[in-house]
Amino acid sequence: MARVQQVVADIAPHDSVERYTNLGVDVVKGYAKLVDPWTVEIQLNDGGMQTLTARTIVIATGARPFVPPLPGIEETGYVTSDTLWTKFAELEEAPKKLVVLGGGPIGSELAQSFARLGSNVTQIEMSDRIMGREDLEVSTFAHQSLTESGVNILTSHQAMRCEMRDGKKNTLSSNTMKQKSISSMMSFFVPLVVAHALKVMV
């Protein structure tokens, strides 16, 4: 995992405020709201207020993980797409087994990444296919690619609860046909996405 941490550290400066400032972008930190179709009002992090106007405003809200209210998830523990790199920095190697909840882009990326790092990965998705917002051809290709990388994908499955059994973490999932229990030696990823504080580019 040390190599992964080094790659993450090497990439970080390319997505920093300093990089964009050096490229000539005015970066304003704060919480923004649209006052009208051409005006953005920003409550600055330092307590001040700033107003920007433009003919075109792009709203790029970003995302943050959603932790589903599964019975037992707090007791068994989990990591999210925001916390996993910090948590896994403590490990010498990738976890032997893990469960990824969610079949969107982030969940699929994490599932494939850790499968390629040697983990036994099971990905649980409620809908009938992963990458459900993409065209069917893209979703099918992604499913095939992840399967070839060693990911066990369970579509049309819903995670029901998490529990400790014989010292191991288990996720109980079900579909219309049967229930399945999946053991995991590591915390659960929960990379489901919801919108967070508004970021506005003008």
Taking the whole predicted model, whether its pTM rises above 0.75 is answered as no
What's the pLDDT at 79? 87
State how far the Cα of 67 lies from the Cα of 52, in Å rounded to an integer.
35
157 vs 192, which has greater pLDDT? Answer: 157
77 vs 198, which has greater pLDDT? Answer: 77
**pLDDT band of 49, cuts 50, 70, 90:** very high
What's the pLDDT at 178? 62
The CATH number assigned to the domain with range 64-194 reads 3.50.50.60
Mean residue pLDDT of the chain comes to: 82
DSSP 53-121: E-S--EE----EEE----TTHHHH-EE-TTTHHHHHTT-SS--SEEEEE--SHHHHHHHHHHHHTT-EE
43 vs 177, which has greater pLDDT? Answer: 43
192 vs 91, which has greater pLDDT? Answer: 91
Residue with tokens 């060693």: 150
Token readout for 123 is 């990905």
**Would you say 30 and 50 are in contact if contact means Cβ atoms under 8 Å apart?**
yes
Q: Per-residue pLDDT for 199 more than 70?
A: no
State how far the Cα of 72 lies from the Cα of 190, in Å rounded to an integer.
14
What's the rounded mean pLDDT across residues 52-73? 86
Domain spans in the chain, listed from the N-terminal domain onward? 64-194
